[in-house]
Structure 1
Amino acid sequence: MASIIYTLVASDDSTTPLAEVAVAEGNFQLLALKLLAKVKRNSSASYAYENKYMFHYHNENGFTFLCMADAGFSNRTAYLFLFDVKDRFYEKFGDKARNAIGFSANKEFSEIMKQRINYFNSDPSADKLKTARGNIEKTKDIMIENIDKVLARGEKIELLVSKTAYMSESAVTMRKQAVKVKRHMWWKNAKLTVLVSVIVIIILFFVIVLACGGFSFPRCK
């Protein structure tokens, strides 16, 4: 299944990411850093790598938000992801991020980015997010260029990507979720059984009370 593989956040003042996350193994970070050095301020761009992968970035207010995805992954959804990460980054760090150094936000923000990758990779409703709608409209006019056009001679890197580790992690996560749902349903059914039993006992008690002529049970003595 086509998915987002890697993402980073970086300041215009540094070519080292403030935070990054990968959900696969490979050398794509090297190519992402080469692209990062060529980012134009206050712009968005998309680059294709051999019809296999796409790199998308959005630069705004001194920061670049970049992601790499399979070529079959929706470009629109990729930009929705970038705008979502951007909003969460500004919300969490605000102006403090302007003085941050390389990887200083990784500890606090990488887990958030990973959660957003998992959401955009797995939830069909992600494409319906209403956030940054104006920005999304602007991305419709972005031309997709071949990545070779922005890389100088000798900069091209043969991309190596392995999703095996991520798939294994996803399988474990799904099993944990299944167990959690099963446990939740068991408790729900157990509570319902107890509630029904209590109601039945109460009804039987009042039936006996009526049959015996009242709470003192005069007819049943």
Structure 2
Amino acid sequence: MSGKIYYGCIGYRKTILSMFSDISLGTLNAAIDAVVNQVGPNSSPKSSSKYDRFQLQLVVDKEIFALCVCDDTFPMRESFVFLEAIKKAFISQFDQYSISIAGTMEMSSFNQTIKNLMDKHNDFDNHQLTKIKREQDETQAILNNDIDKMLKRGDVLSDLEDETSHLVESADGFKSSATRLKRAMWWKNIKLYLIAGAILLIFLLVLLWAGCGITFSRCIPDREDNTGSN
């Protein structure tokens, strides 16, 4: 990795509370002060500026700021990773009240932490491992996101499958109901035909009884009459 971080500090509002430098700052002090003096409630969360061959990167979070100076060839992304690491370590070590009442360099006990983090992020081998781990984490996050989408899609497919099964069951039930209704209507028609036939038969019998008598005597020839005539 080309370039290097030479300086790091952390502070509150416009006050530097802790810092570490690998070089004699000289005129860089004026550039650092100019950047720090811009810190305020409306500051951008991240900003970058240049001075000579150096980059000055700044992160601000609720008026707590972290700043670093590095070569202009040092990857900007890595410098912001370094600053976020400083800020995270600082917030975990000191409470908000202690930070808000501290004066200039009154938290110099944190200087060694800045140095350790600077060495870590300047270490090329460590940087490569960190990059690989970050890429692995990003890949894992993408995979997890894809898995979540697949699971959600699986839920949708499962819902569709359940709905389809329900529709099939409903269709089968409707078919069975239709078959039972068809059979019931068929028997009903048969009963109607039988009743109509019985009524017709009774009507014919009434007509026969009216014309021939109940015993049909008026319609059956008398055997004695037939014998006498012979």
Q: Which amino acid aligns with 1:43?
A: P
Q: Secondary structure at the match of 2:34?
A: helix
The aligned counterpart of 1:30 is 30
Q: Unaligned 5+ residue runs, structure 2?
A: 139-230
CA apart distance, 1:127: 4.0
Q: How does 1:69-80 map to 2 (within 5 A)?
A: 69-80=70-81
Q: Secondary structure at the match of 1:87?
A: helix
Q: How does 1:40-189 map to 2 (within 5 A)?
A: 40-50=42-52, 52-95=53-96, 96-106=98-108, 108-122=109-123, 123-124=126-127, 125-127=129-131
Q: Spell out, residue by residue over 1:165-216, the C-alpha distance to the aligned partner (whole angstroms, 9 max, x if none).
A: xxxxxxxxxxxxxxxxxxxxxxxxxxxxxxxxxxxxxxxxxxxxxxxxxxxx
Q: Which amino acid aligns with 1:53?
A: F
Are the aligned partners of 2:31 and 2:51 in contact in 1 as well (CA < 8 Å)?
no
Are the aligned partners of 1:77 and 1:126 in contact in 2 as well (CA < 8 Å)?
no
Q: Unaligned 5+ residue runs, structure 1?
A: 135-221
Q: Which amino acid aligns with 2:107?
A: A
The aligned counterpart of 2:15 is 16
Largest Rg, 1 or 2: 2
Quote the Cα distance in structure 2 between the aligned partners of 1:117 and 1:48.
Answer: 20
The aligned counterpart of 2:163 is none
Quote the Cα distance in structure 1 between the aligned partners of 2:60 and 2:111.
Answer: 19
Q: CA RMSD in A?
A: 2.1
CA apart distance, 1:42: 4.9
Task: Point out which structure has higher relative CO (alpha carbons under 8 A, 6+ apart).
Answer: 1
Quote the Cα distance in structure 1 between the aligned partners of 2:33 and 2:21.
Answer: 14
CA apart distance, 1:128: 5.2
The aligned counterpart of 1:196 is none
Quote the Cα distance in structure 2 between the aligned partners of 1:118 and 1:128.
Answer: 18
Normalised TM-score (structure 2): 0.51
Q: Spell out, residue by residue over 1:66-118, the C-alpha distance to the aligned partner (whole angstroms, 9 max, x if none).
A: 00100010000000000000000000002221221111111x10000000000
Number of equivalent positions: 128
CA apart distance, 1:35: 1.1
Q: Which amino acid aligns with 2:93?
A: K
